[in-house]
Structure 1
Amino acid sequence: MSLAAAPGTGSTSTSPTAASLWRGGRGVLLVALVVVVGAVVGVLLGGLGEGRPLDPADASLSGGKGLAQLLRANGVQVTRVTSVAEAEAADSGDSMLLLSDTSSLSEGEAERLGSMSADRLVIGVQPHQELLTPGVSSAEKARTRSREPRCALPAATRAGSAHMGGVTFTTPAQATGCYPAGGTPTLVSYIDRDRTITVVGDGQFMTNLRLAEDGNAALAMNLAGARPTLIWLVSTGTAEQAAGDKSFYDLIPGGVGWAVAQLAVVVVLLALWRGRRLGPVVAERLPVVVRAAETVEGRARLYRARRARDRAAIALRAGFVDRVTPRLGLPSAAGPEATVEAIAERTGQAGLHVGAALYGPPPADEAGLVALAEFLDMLERQVKQS
């Protein structure tokens, strides 16, 4: 029986080079870079439109959490309310009511706010303005920028320049106007029925974005922190009412659109990267064609040169068992006893001789190895013919 052998030919290095690694991985790196850049842009652009303006619990750029924390640090109790009833319940008699958005309030609710005894700070032009700031009406729009107070109001003079504008107001009698734009004030403060009412054209100076500029923080604290308790009304009715009229697609966050666009770009780039490599299969010519018989003879010569009769016997026995076991109907995990018994029963050979040929000691010389090969060949032919 012949033995498999491999000739002592030289080996060819197949280790990847730096150039091959770069060619294989540059597409993946490009796609990963596009995903990362798209995600960062999506987060930055998506974060610009979020947040509720002038909400004491909102930490976004347009929120008012920074001012709320400054007021609390200076002993002012900041109470966030979302309804007129909560605002009335929080009025302690020595309070300041801050109104930044009353668009969802009815005329009756605005009248209830107007009748409260608390001082009032109104941001911008609001619906039912005559009920909230009696005697004050809007005049013209004004660009919001850094302006000087140019008035005698202590809260403004102590703060100095501030980011003011938005809209100007006509001032009632005995009112103080500050931060003028074209001669008309953008901040008006006056007393009405023992209440101090202050109205400003734009509340950007109170937001987290502008609070650290000019004297914005000082002006915001002087106006909103004039009383021990600040009742900060945040309107939520508009969003709640509008949600009932929106479709399912309107309720999907804006960031989802950016995510879908990023995935589309990635798919297109991946298709271009992989698509240009598609083509007909190329048959590669082998440098040397070695016949199976040559490899068997070469390996046999190596075993003979090293007198490795034990290894040769192991190879012969293992090959015989692998070829014969399926013909005998035995599982691949069958043990030596089951294998010897099945071969002896099929061939009629003595089980002792079969066991010694398959699992006995290695041959002592080359003649014994040749005899083992011939015996195994004979057993295999008998199994095939039975």
Structure 2
Amino acid sequence: MTAAPPAAPVPPMPSAPAGPGGLVEPVGPVGSGSPGAAAVTASAVAETPRLRTTARRWLFWVVVVVAAVVFAVISVLLTASGAPDAERFSIGSAGPSGSEAVAEVLRQQGVDVVAAGTMAEAVAAVDAADGDATVLFIDPYGYLDDDQLGQVGGLGSELVLVEPGSAELSVFAPAVAPAGAAEEADAVDAGCRLPAAERAGDISRPTATYRMIDAGADSVTCFRSYDDAFGVVQVPGDADAGSGSGSDSGTVTVFGAGDALTNDGVLLRGNAALSLGVLGTHPTLVWYMPTYADVAGGPEPTIGELTPGWVTPVILLLLVVVVAAGVWRGRRFGPVVVENLPVTVRASETMEGRARLYAKQSAHVRALDALRIGTISRLTVALALPRHASVVDVSRAVASVTGLPVDQVHDTLVGALPRSEADLLALSDRLLVLEQAVHRATHDGPPATSSPSG
């Protein structure tokens, strides 16, 4: 059997099967050497790496990683305390929805603005002011239950409810009910005798409106949006605050113009005059926004609190075991080998190396595919078929020149699958016999009258 020319896409097939090591076709040599070259022109020198050389090579990357980690830690530490609070109505937020501007102006006017995130903080702030304080209450997430709302009603001299819901109104101002969103309008006029509203004149469109269910003589409704819907409603407080029926003294102001408190809307029309007038009536303003810590029963336990004490040591031990296993079983590089290029490699070395890999993995199908690809490529050239000819075309051409059945040829070239090493040897024999038959038919004379066995 002749070897294929170097330009063939698949290397030549061995002339005879010789066990698993001889079933893989050799590939061409590396470099400019020809097949069958016997000399290796390169000399190999083994050089064992030294610790100093390795450390010098990795020093730069170690320094870069350490510097990046240090920079990240410092950035987190410096920015954690100064992280902006984007929550709406927060006096610590300078964003459009925050209320830092209103709080700062009130402080400049001599009002002590105290932020409270829990009931305990609010009670402490009111006690520090001897009860002479305005309490601004905002609970958009409904953290407090009715009993806790009743406690809020006993705080301070004045109570300002910002965009309250039905639950808050039923406790603090039973005579007031939600009336929905305000009608579209650039501004609404005060239209009432409330001093802060009169100074404001008009304000931007309220966020929410409210209506009076049972209007009393001392009730005030301001900034009418439509029919009986108003942006601000003020009713007198109830002395029985402990039962949850309102503030123990002063007034309860239902403040639906929430945008008037934000940094983005305080400067629109008379919003600033209204906000400062309503919130600046007492020396102390307690800005109470309940948090999850006020939820009845306390906050839910964290995952760390629910986790048994032995879990963390076990996890750390497993990490140590994984790292140790990686070091133990990890791939270790051998000594550095310096070679002078170009290098000529024997074709037989590549063939034997691939054969050992196929044999080690029992890759019978892959080994046979390599043999079949080489055989089909050489048959295509021998029969003068186009390079894009299919296996069916090659099978028919081989059958026509050898006299073999087309099905048998197709089965040999692509159909049969080896189940064992014996099958692989048998099929490689059939490929060799088939290629020899085509060679005889194309070089020695007409096709044979009978098909060869095997």
Under a length normalisation based on structure 2, what TM-score does the superposition of the two structures give?
Answer: 0.41
Under a length normalisation based on structure 1, what TM-score does the superposition of the two structures give?
Answer: 0.47
Task: Give the structure with the larger helix fraction.
Answer: 1
